[in-house]
């Protein structure tokens, strides 16, 4: 079954190479997470501490995290979408580091079946994360809002079953 363009970002991530994120040795360093995060409670506490602190990606996209974002990121649906439960928690607990290392190599259309009235765009960014002695790719979804007062919001994360070579 062919995927719609707005649903193809996971497949596109399979094309990523370590060099897309920079020098191989530097990527190995930036992919190391600064915190250990093994439980929902730890992830929630860390994510709550990020509220009110704007983050900027390597592609220069500023975004914030909200309480609604935290609920989405830690929902059973989001965790189940990730390839590995522990990888998802690690990504959630290090979202600030992942976001500052994230790139946006492609743009994707918005899903026309969803209410996009308040949105300019939906961005899919990708960041490297060391996990089980490999460099995994984490996808971060950001909603760019039409009203500047609403600030761009980190909407979701997903630890992909994609590893950089």
On whether the CB atoms of residues 138 and 99 are closer than 8 A, the answer is: no
In sequence order, what are the residues at sequence separation of 6 or more whose Cβ sits closer than 8 angstroms to the Cβ of residue 66? Answer: 51, 153
Say whether 163 sits in a helix, a strand or coil.
strand
Q: What is the mean pLDDT of residues 11-29?
A: 95
Both structure tokens of 143: 């909603």
Assess whether pLDDT exceeds 50 at residue 41: yes
**Has this prediction a pTM greater than 0.85?**
yes
- The confidence score (pLDDT) of residue 121 equals 87
Which among 108, 123, 121 has a CA at the least distance from the CA of 156?
Answer: 123
Chain mean pLDDT for the chain: 92
Neighbours of 49 (CB within 10 A): 11
How do residues 94-119 score in pLDDT, each as one tens digit? 999 999 999 999 888 777 778 777 88
- The confidence score (pLDDT) of residue 155 equals 94
- The confidence score (pLDDT) of residue 1 equals 43
How do residues 78-96 score in pLDDT, each as one tens digit? 999 999 999 999 999 999 9
Assess whether pLDDT exceeds 50 at residue 3: no
Which among 77, 10, 79 has a CA at the least distance from the CA of 43?
Answer: 79
In sequence order, what are the residues at sequence separation of 6 or more whose Cβ sits closer than 8 angstroms to the Cβ of residue 85? Answer: 79
**Count of residues in the chain:** 165
Which among 75, 99, 97, 90 has a CA at the least distance from the CA of 154?
Answer: 99
- DSSP annotation of 53 reads -
The residue extents of the domains of the chain are 5-163
How do residues 130-152 score in pLDDT, each as one tens digit? 999 999 999 999 999 888 888 99
Q: Predicted confidence band at 7 (pLDDT cuts at 50, 70, 90)?
A: low
């Amino acid at each position: 079954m062919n995927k719609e363009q707005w649903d193809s970002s996971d497949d596109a991530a399979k094309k990523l190479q370590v060099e897309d994120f920079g020098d191989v040795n530097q990527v190995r360093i930036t992919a190391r997470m600064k915190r250990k995060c093994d439980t929902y409670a730890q992830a929630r506490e860390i994510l709550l501490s990020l509220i009110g602190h704007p983050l900027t990606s390597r592609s220069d996209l500023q975004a914030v995290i909200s309480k609604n974002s935290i609920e989405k990121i830690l929902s059973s649906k989001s965790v189940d979408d990730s390839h590995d439960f522990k990888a998802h928690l690690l990504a959630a607990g290090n979202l600030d580091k992942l976001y500052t290392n994230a790139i946006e190599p492609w743009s994707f259309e918005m899903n026309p079946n969803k209410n996009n009235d308040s949105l300019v765009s939906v961005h899919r960014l990708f960041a490297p994360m060391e996990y089980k002695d490999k460099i995994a790719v984490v996808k971060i979804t950001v909603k760019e809002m039409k009203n500047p007062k609403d600030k761009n919001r980190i909407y979701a994360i997903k630890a992909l079953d994609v590893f950089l070579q």
